[in-house]
Amino acid sequence: MTVLNEIEKLNNYLAAWDLSNPQFLEQTMTSRIYTVIHRNEKVILKLLSSSEADEQRGAFALRYFNGHGAVKLLRYDEGAQLMEYAVGDALVTLVERNEDENATRIIAQVIKQLHSVSQDAPYDGMVMLDCWFRTLLEKAAREKQAGITSIYTRGASLAERLLVDQQEIRALHGDIHHYNIRYSPRGWLAFDPKGVVGERTYDCANALCNPVIPELVHNETRLLKNATILADTLALELGRVLAFTYIYACLNASWWTQLSDREGAHDIVRWHLNVAKIIEPHIQKV
Protein backbone atom coordinates (compact mmCIF):
# COMPACT_ATOMS: atom_id res chain seq x y z
CA MET A 1 0.00 0.00 0.00
CA THR A 2 1.37 3.43 -0.94
CA VAL A 3 1.80 6.19 1.64
CA LEU A 4 -1.05 8.13 0.03
CA ASN A 5 -3.40 5.15 0.20
CA GLU A 6 -2.38 4.52 3.81
CA ILE A 7 -3.19 8.10 4.77
CA GLU A 8 -6.52 7.87 2.96
CA LYS A 9 -7.35 4.62 4.76
CA LEU A 10 -6.43 6.15 8.13
CA ASN A 11 -8.55 9.22 7.47
CA ASN A 12 -11.52 7.09 6.42
CA TYR A 13 -11.46 5.21 9.74
CA LEU A 14 -10.95 8.38 11.75
CA ALA A 15 -14.12 9.75 10.22
CA ALA A 16 -16.19 6.56 10.22
CA TRP A 17 -15.37 5.58 13.82
CA ASP A 18 -15.24 9.10 15.28
CA LEU A 19 -11.54 8.98 16.16
CA SER A 20 -9.00 11.77 16.58
CA ASN A 21 -5.34 12.56 17.25
CA PRO A 22 -3.72 9.59 15.45
CA GLN A 23 -0.15 8.88 16.57
CA PHE A 24 1.87 6.25 14.72
CA LEU A 25 3.03 3.50 17.09
CA GLU A 26 4.58 0.70 15.03
CA GLN A 27 4.59 -1.27 11.80
CA THR A 28 4.30 -5.06 11.94
CA MET A 29 4.23 -7.74 9.25
CA THR A 30 0.43 -7.68 9.33
CA SER A 31 -0.61 -4.15 10.25
CA ARG A 32 0.16 -0.51 10.86
CA ILE A 33 -0.68 0.52 14.41
CA TYR A 34 -1.72 3.92 15.80
CA THR A 35 -2.93 5.29 19.07
CA VAL A 36 -6.07 7.37 18.67
CA ILE A 37 -8.59 9.10 20.91
CA HIS A 38 -12.02 7.46 21.14
CA ARG A 39 -14.62 8.84 23.55
CA ASN A 40 -11.90 10.71 25.47
CA GLU A 41 -9.76 7.58 25.89
CA LYS A 42 -6.52 6.60 24.17
CA VAL A 43 -7.02 3.32 22.30
CA ILE A 44 -5.32 1.31 19.58
CA LEU A 45 -6.27 1.47 15.90
CA LYS A 46 -4.76 -1.35 13.90
CA LEU A 47 -4.93 -0.94 10.10
CA LEU A 48 -4.60 -4.40 8.57
CA SER A 49 -2.78 -5.55 5.48
CA SER A 50 -5.13 -6.88 2.82
CA SER A 51 -6.51 -10.40 3.31
CA GLU A 52 -4.84 -10.82 6.70
CA ALA A 53 -6.41 -14.04 7.96
CA ASP A 54 -4.48 -14.28 11.25
CA GLU A 55 -5.61 -10.83 12.31
CA GLN A 56 -9.21 -11.60 11.38
CA ARG A 57 -9.16 -14.70 13.58
CA GLY A 58 -7.56 -12.61 16.30
CA ALA A 59 -10.52 -10.24 16.24
CA PHE A 60 -12.94 -13.15 16.60
CA ALA A 61 -10.95 -14.40 19.60
CA LEU A 62 -10.91 -10.97 21.28
CA ARG A 63 -14.65 -10.74 20.74
CA TYR A 64 -15.00 -14.16 22.38
CA PHE A 65 -12.81 -13.26 25.39
CA ASN A 66 -14.75 -9.99 25.83
CA GLY A 67 -12.10 -8.38 28.02
CA HIS A 68 -11.48 -11.42 30.27
CA GLY A 69 -7.69 -11.59 30.43
CA ALA A 70 -7.37 -9.76 27.12
CA VAL A 71 -7.74 -6.26 25.75
CA LYS A 72 -11.30 -5.34 24.80
CA LEU A 73 -12.20 -5.22 21.12
CA LEU A 74 -14.21 -2.04 20.55
CA ARG A 75 -14.87 -2.17 16.80
CA TYR A 76 -13.58 -4.11 13.84
CA ASP A 77 -14.09 -4.92 10.20
CA GLU A 78 -12.02 -6.58 7.49
CA GLY A 79 -9.65 -3.62 7.27
CA ALA A 80 -9.12 -2.45 10.83
CA GLN A 81 -9.51 -3.14 14.54
CA LEU A 82 -10.12 -0.70 17.38
CA MET A 83 -9.16 -1.98 20.81
CA GLU A 84 -8.28 -1.14 24.38
CA TYR A 85 -4.74 0.17 24.88
CA ALA A 86 -2.69 -1.67 27.50
CA VAL A 87 -0.25 1.17 27.93
CA GLY A 88 1.98 -0.34 30.63
CA ASP A 89 5.13 -2.43 30.44
CA ALA A 90 5.29 -5.72 28.59
CA LEU A 91 5.58 -8.78 30.83
CA VAL A 92 9.12 -9.41 29.55
CA THR A 93 10.30 -6.47 31.69
CA LEU A 94 9.73 -8.63 34.80
CA VAL A 95 12.04 -11.28 33.40
CA GLU A 96 14.63 -8.60 32.68
CA ARG A 97 14.38 -7.67 36.38
CA ASN A 98 15.10 -11.28 37.38
CA GLU A 99 11.44 -12.04 38.14
CA ASP A 100 11.11 -14.93 35.71
CA GLU A 101 9.03 -17.22 37.93
CA ASN A 102 6.73 -14.34 38.87
CA ALA A 103 6.21 -13.63 35.17
CA THR A 104 5.27 -17.27 34.63
CA ARG A 105 2.71 -17.09 37.44
CA ILE A 106 1.21 -14.01 35.81
CA ILE A 107 1.00 -15.85 32.49
CA ALA A 108 -0.85 -18.65 34.26
CA GLN A 109 -3.34 -16.19 35.76
CA VAL A 110 -3.91 -14.54 32.36
CA ILE A 111 -4.51 -17.94 30.77
CA LYS A 112 -6.90 -18.81 33.59
CA GLN A 113 -8.93 -15.66 32.88
CA LEU A 114 -9.00 -16.32 29.14
CA HIS A 115 -10.17 -19.88 29.65
CA SER A 116 -12.81 -18.89 32.21
CA VAL A 117 -15.01 -17.43 29.48
CA SER A 118 -18.22 -19.37 28.88
CA GLN A 119 -17.89 -21.66 25.86
CA ASP A 120 -21.55 -21.44 24.89
CA ALA A 121 -21.08 -19.24 21.83
CA PRO A 122 -20.04 -20.83 18.50
CA TYR A 123 -16.36 -20.60 17.54
CA ASP A 124 -17.15 -18.65 14.40
CA GLY A 125 -14.11 -17.60 12.38
CA MET A 126 -11.54 -19.43 14.52
CA VAL A 127 -9.40 -22.40 13.50
CA MET A 128 -9.40 -25.83 15.12
CA LEU A 129 -6.12 -27.00 16.65
CA ASP A 130 -5.80 -30.07 14.42
CA CYS A 131 -5.89 -27.80 11.36
CA TRP A 132 -3.37 -25.48 13.04
CA PHE A 133 -0.82 -28.33 13.02
CA ARG A 134 -1.18 -29.07 9.30
CA THR A 135 2.26 -27.70 8.38
CA LEU A 136 4.05 -30.03 10.81
CA LEU A 137 1.98 -33.05 9.78
CA GLU A 138 2.60 -32.38 6.08
CA LYS A 139 6.35 -31.92 6.59
CA ALA A 140 6.54 -35.15 8.56
CA ALA A 141 4.58 -37.02 5.88
CA ARG A 142 7.07 -35.87 3.22
CA GLU A 143 10.00 -36.96 5.36
CA LYS A 144 8.44 -40.36 6.08
CA GLN A 145 7.87 -40.87 2.37
CA ALA A 146 11.55 -40.10 1.80
CA GLY A 147 12.52 -42.63 4.50
CA ILE A 148 13.65 -39.94 6.94
CA THR A 149 13.14 -40.20 10.70
CA SER A 150 13.58 -36.83 12.40
CA ILE A 151 12.38 -34.68 15.25
CA TYR A 152 9.63 -33.51 12.87
CA THR A 153 8.35 -37.04 12.30
CA ARG A 154 8.51 -37.79 16.03
CA GLY A 155 6.77 -34.49 16.83
CA ALA A 156 4.05 -35.15 14.27
CA SER A 157 3.46 -38.65 15.65
CA LEU A 158 2.96 -37.23 19.14
CA ALA A 159 0.80 -34.40 17.78
CA GLU A 160 -1.52 -36.88 16.08
CA ARG A 161 -2.01 -38.76 19.36
CA LEU A 162 -2.65 -35.57 21.34
CA LEU A 163 -4.99 -34.02 18.78
CA VAL A 164 -7.32 -37.02 18.59
CA ASP A 165 -7.62 -37.08 22.39
CA GLN A 166 -8.01 -33.41 23.31
CA GLN A 167 -9.29 -32.51 26.76
CA GLU A 168 -11.17 -29.42 27.96
CA ILE A 169 -11.50 -27.73 24.59
CA ARG A 170 -11.61 -23.92 24.73
CA ALA A 171 -11.26 -20.82 22.62
CA LEU A 172 -7.51 -20.28 22.94
CA HIS A 173 -5.27 -17.27 22.62
CA GLY A 174 -2.83 -19.40 20.62
CA ASP A 175 0.20 -17.12 21.05
CA ILE A 176 0.64 -16.43 24.77
CA HIS A 177 4.13 -15.22 25.61
CA HIS A 178 5.98 -12.44 27.45
CA TYR A 179 5.73 -9.93 24.60
CA ASN A 180 1.98 -10.38 24.08
CA ILE A 181 0.98 -9.45 27.63
CA ARG A 182 1.05 -5.87 28.94
CA TYR A 183 0.04 -4.13 32.11
CA SER A 184 -3.04 -1.89 32.12
CA PRO A 185 -5.34 -0.21 34.65
CA ARG A 186 -7.29 -3.50 34.58
CA GLY A 187 -4.19 -5.57 35.31
CA TRP A 188 -2.15 -7.78 32.99
CA LEU A 189 -3.85 -8.27 29.62
CA ALA A 190 -3.05 -10.36 26.55
CA PHE A 191 -3.34 -9.11 22.99
CA ASP A 192 -2.65 -10.37 19.44
CA PRO A 193 -4.40 -13.75 19.79
CA LYS A 194 -4.37 -16.25 16.92
CA GLY A 195 -7.96 -17.41 17.37
CA VAL A 196 -7.41 -21.16 17.83
CA VAL A 197 -9.80 -23.69 19.37
CA GLY A 198 -8.52 -26.76 21.15
CA GLU A 199 -7.22 -28.28 24.38
CA ARG A 200 -6.46 -25.54 26.90
CA THR A 201 -3.04 -27.04 27.65
CA TYR A 202 -1.81 -25.70 24.31
CA ASP A 203 -1.87 -22.12 25.58
CA CYS A 204 1.09 -22.93 27.85
CA ALA A 205 3.38 -23.93 25.00
CA ASN A 206 4.62 -20.65 23.56
CA ALA A 207 5.21 -19.19 27.02
CA LEU A 208 7.79 -21.92 27.67
CA CYS A 209 9.60 -21.05 24.42
CA ASN A 210 9.98 -17.41 25.51
CA PRO A 211 11.33 -14.83 26.11
CA VAL A 212 14.19 -14.57 23.62
CA ILE A 213 16.91 -15.07 26.24
CA PRO A 214 18.85 -18.28 25.46
CA GLU A 215 20.29 -18.82 28.94
CA LEU A 216 16.71 -18.99 30.24
CA VAL A 217 14.69 -20.75 27.57
CA HIS A 218 17.37 -23.32 26.76
CA ASN A 219 17.97 -24.11 30.41
CA GLU A 220 16.42 -27.48 31.23
CA THR A 221 15.94 -26.76 34.94
CA ARG A 222 14.21 -23.46 34.25
CA LEU A 223 11.96 -24.96 31.57
CA LEU A 224 10.81 -27.80 33.82
CA LYS A 225 10.27 -25.47 36.78
CA ASN A 226 8.14 -23.03 34.77
CA ALA A 227 6.22 -25.89 33.17
CA THR A 228 5.42 -27.10 36.69
CA ILE A 229 4.24 -23.62 37.73
CA LEU A 230 1.87 -23.49 34.75
CA ALA A 231 0.62 -27.04 35.31
CA ASP A 232 0.01 -26.55 39.04
CA THR A 233 -1.68 -23.14 38.70
CA LEU A 234 -3.93 -24.27 35.86
CA ALA A 235 -4.62 -27.77 37.23
CA LEU A 236 -3.06 -29.43 34.19
CA GLU A 237 -1.00 -32.59 33.83
CA LEU A 238 2.68 -31.68 33.68
CA GLY A 239 3.28 -34.41 31.11
CA ARG A 240 0.72 -32.89 28.76
CA VAL A 241 2.14 -29.38 29.24
CA LEU A 242 5.55 -30.69 28.17
CA ALA A 243 4.05 -32.72 25.33
CA PHE A 244 2.13 -29.78 23.89
CA THR A 245 5.20 -27.56 24.23
CA TYR A 246 7.25 -30.17 22.36
CA ILE A 247 4.83 -30.43 19.44
CA TYR A 248 4.40 -26.64 19.36
CA ALA A 249 8.18 -26.18 19.11
CA CYS A 250 8.28 -28.67 16.24
CA LEU A 251 5.34 -26.90 14.58
CA ASN A 252 6.96 -23.49 14.83
CA ALA A 253 10.20 -24.82 13.41
CA SER A 254 8.28 -26.35 10.49
CA TRP A 255 6.54 -23.01 9.82
CA TRP A 256 9.84 -21.15 9.65
CA THR A 257 11.53 -23.71 7.43
CA GLN A 258 8.96 -22.59 4.83
CA LEU A 259 10.00 -18.96 5.39
CA SER A 260 13.72 -19.49 4.99
CA ASP A 261 14.06 -16.37 2.85
CA ARG A 262 13.01 -14.15 5.76
CA GLU A 263 15.63 -12.56 7.93
CA GLY A 264 16.27 -14.57 11.09
CA ALA A 265 14.25 -17.60 9.95
CA HIS A 266 17.08 -20.09 10.46
CA ASP A 267 17.72 -18.76 13.97
CA ILE A 268 14.03 -19.19 14.85
CA VAL A 269 14.06 -22.77 13.57
CA ARG A 270 17.13 -23.60 15.66
CA TRP A 271 15.64 -21.86 18.70
CA HIS A 272 12.50 -23.99 18.70
CA LEU A 273 14.29 -27.23 17.84
CA ASN A 274 16.57 -26.62 20.81
CA VAL A 275 13.51 -26.35 23.05
CA ALA A 276 12.07 -29.54 21.57
CA LYS A 277 15.35 -31.41 22.11
CA ILE A 278 15.44 -30.36 25.77
CA ILE A 279 11.88 -31.58 26.33
CA GLU A 280 12.06 -34.81 24.30
CA PRO A 281 13.71 -36.97 27.02
CA HIS A 282 10.92 -35.94 29.42
CA ILE A 283 8.05 -36.87 27.13
CA GLN A 284 5.94 -39.62 28.63
CA LYS A 285 3.42 -41.75 26.77
CA VAL A 286 0.24 -39.71 26.39
CATH number at 54 reads 3.30.200.20
Listed residue (271, 278, 279, 276) closest to 214, CA to CA: 271
Residue 240's pLDDT band, with cuts at 50, 70 and 90, is very high
* 40 and 135 housed in the same domain: no
* Domain span holding position 66: 3-84
* 179 and 147 housed in the same domain: yes
* 97 and 74 housed in the same domain: no
Reported as a single tens digit per residue, the pLDDT across 156-171 is: 999 999 999 999 999 9
* 214 and 135 housed in the same domain: yes
* 194 and 120 housed in the same domain: yes
Most distant CA pair in the chain, distance: 62
* 61 and 145 housed in the same domain: no
Between strands 80-84 and 41-48, the pairing is antiparallel
CATH number at 197 reads 3.90.1200.10
Reported as a single tens digit per residue, the pLDDT across 100-119 is: 999 999 999 999 999 999 99
Please tell me whether residue 282 adopts helix, strand or coil conformation.
Answer: helix
**Number of structural domains the chain divides into:** 2
Look at residue 286 and tell me whether its pLDDT is greater than 80: no
* 219 and 148 housed in the same domain: yes
The overall average pLDDT reported for the chain is: 94
pTM, two decimals, is 0.94
